[in-house]
Structure 1
Amino acid sequence: MTVVRWGILGAANFAKEHMARAIHAAEGGKLAALATSSAEKAEGFKTFAPDLKVHSSYDALLEDPDIDAVYIPLPNHLHVEWTLRAVAAGKAVLCEKPIAMNANEIDRLIEARDDAGVLVAEAYMIVHHPQWRKARRLLHEGKIGTLVDTQVRFSFNNPDPENIRNQANTGGGGLPDIGVYAFGSVRYVTGEEPEEILGTDVAWENGVDTRAHVTARFPSFHYTGMVSTRMSPFQEVLFHGDEGVIRLTAPFNAGVYSQAEVHLQAPDGTVTTWRFPNVNQYVLQVEAFNRSVSDKVVYPCPLEFSKGTQRMIDMVYEAAKA
């Protein structure tokens, strides 16, 4: 496997605490460069990557011939612009979610990807975690019979008005931040797309959504979900069939919120549990990306999948406005 040399656009705290460390630890890649004008922020990355090259601008990093792939943790409203600029520079791109602010923008990214012949993907780490592959396999093996209803709850409390997730001009809001997980996870496991948003109850604060209750109809089941950035931390996903229930107890922040577990409840009430300790889904995501770049292995979360999730977010916003 050819070693994929990575650069990061911006010294975001999430990049420092999670993704930069994952890139550094993942097989098949090397954390080689960082673009930031802050020497102080760069030092936080050098504590675990001491030979890191630091560029003073994003453009300088994109012009670096020694960089193969770029990770973009910039504010949401900058994702499309800098993804397109990185692709134009010939770099593979892994961009934080949401990769775009509406589904139509992703068409531009797909076109640029295809024209340049480079991998471009949204950093949607959960599909790389084995708990989600297990849940999908259980469902498609008929372990809960016919799926009737899905239930998703994901919340945390972030009232800081200075946080970019709470600012409308940077593409903030609960649905772009964590609704992407609620909607995308159900689409991933079932392989179905929403037909209609049946109901919404969305709370707004300073132009961003802070809580969204959503019901939707999929071709063969009903969806009920709630995401909030103003409630006590909690997360859970249920797939409820006529012969059983699949339950994920730490579906999105596995290992941080709690240990990842998949529970399968049979009709007689007995429960079989699969546990996934010490799995780093960020590292698995980078390793999958590295394989796709160096060995042309099919990437498990293409832009077309991300477009489907963004389309559902768009549908919810349209229904809420109506």
Structure 2
Amino acid sequence: MSEPQIKFGILGCADIARKLSRAITLAPNATIHAIGSRSLEKATKYAASNNFPETAKIYGSYDAVLDDPDVDAVYIPLPTSLHIKWAVLAAQKKKHILLEKPVALNVGEFDKIVEACELNGVQMMDSTMWMHNPRTGKMKEFILDPHKFGELRSIHAVFTFAADPDFLENDIRVKPDLDALGALGDAGWYCVRAILWANDFQLPKSVTALPGTIFNKAGVIISCGAALLWENGKTATFHCSFLANLTMSVTASGTKGSLHINDFVIPFEENKGSFTTSTESGFTELVTGWAPLPSQHTVMTDVPQEVLMVTEFSRLVKSVKNEGLAVEKKWPTLSRMTQFVLDAVKTSVDKGGETVNLD
């Protein structure tokens, strides 16, 4: 007997929705039930070009998707400025929500989304795919090992990609009325999440934007970085940019070991992911090399990380919808922490690099 499937509605025809549409199709417990766009013609073409099932409903508005009684959950890849309107409305319509990142323009907006979800008993999860990769769990095992890694002391994260001229001029991520957080909200979200993840989601004491923030002519951040500090002297830094070659790296250093990953957001290959670790590293006698050498670990996965995300989200939705269980609060909590730190970085940027304390 086939597994009951959660019926998804998709709001909008964003490029990232192509990837998630594939993931929903591949997930064993999910199916695409509907898509809505501001244009019926656009939604029809999008569904056809992305191999939507013939049974998928095509709507000429977002409201029609939310009003469809058979839609269990919605995926919202709309511009960040529209998240609060459509996520709140989706919750009020009793639709569970898979929300693209950044989840909002600021934590105040996100709190209103969470409040709507809680009032209406719907599950919310942000679309940070790498969190669901089995490699992520294996890396955390190493970081938590007191004998191999010790106590975490520093983290450095980088996510950059060299956007082409058309992106820098026309993409929604460079428009102040659509995605006002720019590179900080897009690439920076992943860096901040990685830093918090490595530090077991303990919030830093303070955040300071690094010098060298670059804005486009509309005043949107297209390159920036920040330093984070914890009470015990633990530190982290990150850099995010639309202006440098594709880089997705995280380095975590502990008192006994270190971990490095070169492709943390999107693995080089979707069916496997690697990372390197080293413990009690030192130099050879003549300081001509390392001893012992770092070791590489490869974790295989039967399905891509985005499919695992959709599968887990759908499992949670099913537990609420069919089994009467409470929503899982872990995911909105992690989303809020990430947004909270992003807000602090943005405030520091706006104040010319002034340190912002996170009370």
User: Could you say whether these structures have the same fold, taking a TM-score greater than 0.5 normalized by the shorter chain as the test?
Assistant: yes
1:283 and 1:74 map into 2 onto residues whose CA distance is 20
CA RMSD for the aligned pairs? 2.0
What secondary structure does 1:87 align onto?
A: helix
Deviations 1:14-63 (A, max 9, x none): 112x0011011101111111112243553343352231210111111111
Structure 1 residues 151 and 258: alpha-carbon distance in aligned structure 2, compared to 1, 3 A threshold: farther
Contact 1:249–1:260 (Cα < 8 Å) also in 2: no
The AA in structure 2 aligned to 1:21 is R
Q: Which has the larger radius of gyration?
A: 2
Distance in 1 (alpha carbons) for counterparts of 2:190 and 2:243: 17
Does 1:124 pair with 2:128?
yes
1:281 aligned to which of 297, 301, 305: 305
Matched residue, 1:144: 149
Spell out, residue by residue over 1:136-163, the C-alpha distance to the aligned partner (whole angstroms, 9 max, x if none): 2211122211211111111001242111
Equivalent residue in structure 2 for 1:154, among 132, 156, 159? 159
Is there any run of 5+ residues in structure 2 with no aligned partner, and where?
282-291, 352-359
Q: Which residue of 1 aligns with 2:356?
A: none
The equivalent of 1:204 in structure 2 is: 215
The amino acid that maps onto 1:43 is: K
Instruction: Report the Cα offset of residue 134 of structure 1.
Output: 1.5
Normalised TM-score (structure 2): 0.84
TM-score, with structure 1 as normaliser? 0.94
Map residues 37-56 of structure 1 onto 2, 5 A cutoff.
37-46=39-48, 47-51=50-54, 52-56=56-60
Letter in 2 for 1:287: T
- Counterpart residue number, 1:230: 243
Distance 1:256 1:204 in 2: 33
- CA displacement at 1:300 relative to structure 2: 8.1
Q: How far apart, in 2, do the equivalents of 1:174 and 1:259 lie?
A: 27
Alignment length (residue pairs): 321
Residue 270 of structure 1 and its aligned partner are, at CA, apart by: 2.4
Counterpart position of 1:32: 33
In 2, are the aligned partners of 1:75 and 1:170 still within 8 Å (CA)? yes
* 1:256 CA drift (Å): 6.0
**Distance in structure 1 (CA, Å) of the matches to 2:135 and 2:203:** 21
Q: Which amino acid aligns with 2:26?
A: A
Q: What letter matches 2:150 in structure 1? A: G
Report % sequence identity. Answer: 27
One-letter amino acid of the counterpart of residue 8, structure 1 = I
Change (3 A) 1:72 1:23: same
Cα drift, residue 255 of structure 1? 3.8
CA gap of 1:301–1:227, structure 2 versus 1, over 3 A, is farther
SS at match of 1:283: helix
* 1:104 is aligned to 2:117: no
> Residues 43 and 60 of structure 2 are in contact (CA less than 8 Å); yes or no, is this contact kept in structure 1?
no
- For 2:205, the equivalent position in structure 1 comes to 195
Instruction: Show structure 1 runs of 5+ residues with no match.
Output: none
